[in-house]
Structure 1
Amino acid sequence: MRTRQRDRDVEGPRSPWDEVVPGLWMGGHVWTDPAGELRAAVVNEEFDLVVSLFARAGHGPAPHVDHLVAEMPDGPLSAEQLRAVQHLAAATHEALRAHRTVLVRCHSGYNRSGLVVAQTLFLAGLAPAAAIELIRRRRSPWALHNATFVDYLTTGLDVAVLLTDLEPP
């Protein structure tokens, strides 16, 4: 199993998930153990809410755990997908305000999950550069290495939605 077909020079995550701020975790479906072996990151009951931007059968969460799924590519997003990111970030922010633990995950836990986590941090009052730096420090220096996603965050998702809506189909 390969974690990063398109980004072979990108180091795999060293843990299944990492806490970015209290109660907000960021992760993926795979991670690399200390021996360099690729492992499945399977969530069970560790979190109150799991937000998945990539889904794979057998990776949880447990049936009674709240689970929001909005699969999307690790590449340019449509206006509808950007709105989904906004919705997921708002749901994550509300869960955190209710003192619930949240895992936001994608394949490796770098880009798509980073987009939602950063937007959640914006809703909590963090500036874009500070949110991106915090995510990279807490998850991995490789987090948010997708330049398009960083552009979405620094431009603002509201503006990115408007600009994307203007593009011809």
Structure 2
Amino acid sequence: MAALHGDPTRIDMDLDPIAERISGVAAHGNTPFDMPYISEIVPGLWQGGCRNGMRLPSDIKHLVSLYPWERYTHEHDLDSAIAVRMYDSTSQAFDQVDVLAAWVNVCRASAPTLVHCQAGLNRSSLVVARALMLDGMGASDAIHLIREKRSPACLCNESFEAWLTGIEA
């Protein structure tokens, strides 16, 4: 593996997404954030970001990637993995959100599931919130829970939050 990176003395390191933190300023609203790479929102449903080479916890059995440009490494078998290209844009279409959210609910009924995007702020929040809503939670409660468990910066993309709250109206 070291030769692939050009450094024959390179050491492979295990990056733990629960212990490692991600911080920065979100493009939407210049919102600062600092949180673990992944956070458990409700039992068995994890949400977060990703960085190439980060180790997927072995208890995660379903992986939903909304940011296929970065990938988790894993040595254990996954029950399912799906990668969908989604953008953190105010013009992002929502036509695939219900299908993804319904899939997340199917997955988390059988085993721990991680929904990730780049930082775990908007795209993953959109899908996780909608999954919670399809499971009976109101939009405002789902949004509040995600912000409490993950970060107040979640759903700082106002079009994502507006879409979620508009469904309930």
1:102-135 Cα distance to aligned partner (Å, 9 max, x none): 0000000010000000000001100000000000
Within 1, Cα distance between the matches of 2:33 and 2:124? 15
Q: Does 1:86 align with 2:98?
A: yes
Within 1, Cα distance between the matches of 2:28 and 2:145? 22
Task: Please point out which of 121, 125, 140 is paired with 1:129.
Answer: 140
SS of alignment partner, residue 14 of structure 1:
strand
CA RMSD of aligned residues (A): 2.7
Q: TM-score, normalised by structure 1?
A: 0.75
Segment of structure 1 superposing worse, 130-139 or 8-17: 8-17
Q: Does 1:25 align with 2:39?
A: no
Task: Please point out which of 72, 75, 81 is paired with 1:67.
Answer: 81
Which residue is 1:35 aligned to?
none
Within 1, Cα distance between the matches of 2:107 and 2:37? 21
Within 2, Cα distance between the matches of 1:140 and 1:106? 14
Segment of structure 1 superposing worse, 65-74 or 54-63: 54-63
Within 2, Cα distance between the matches of 1:62 and 1:123? 32
* Structure 1 residues 13 and 49: alpha-carbon distance in aligned structure 2, compared to 1, 3 A threshold: farther
Larger radius of gyration: 2
1:55-96 Cα distance to aligned partner (Å, 9 max, x none): 235523557322111111101222xxx232211110111122
Q: Does 1:152 align with 2:163?
A: yes
Which residue is 1:163 aligned to?
none
Within 1, Cα distance between the matches of 2:50 and 2:106? 24
Runs of 4+ with deviation above 4 angstroms: 2-5
Q: TM-score, normalised by structure 2?
A: 0.75
* Structure 1 residues 127 and 8: alpha-carbon distance in aligned structure 2, compared to 1, 3 A threshold: closer
Name structure 2 gaps, 5 residues minimum.
1-22
Asked if structure 1 preserves the Cα contact closer than 8 Å seen for 2:139 and 2:165, the reply is: yes
SS of alignment partner, residue 72 of structure 1:
coil
Name structure 1 gaps, 5 residues minimum.
31-38, 160-169
SS of alignment partner, residue 88 of structure 2:
coil
Q: Counting helix residues as a fraction of each chain, which structure ranks higher?
A: 1
Alpha-carbon offset, residue 7 of structure 1:
5.0
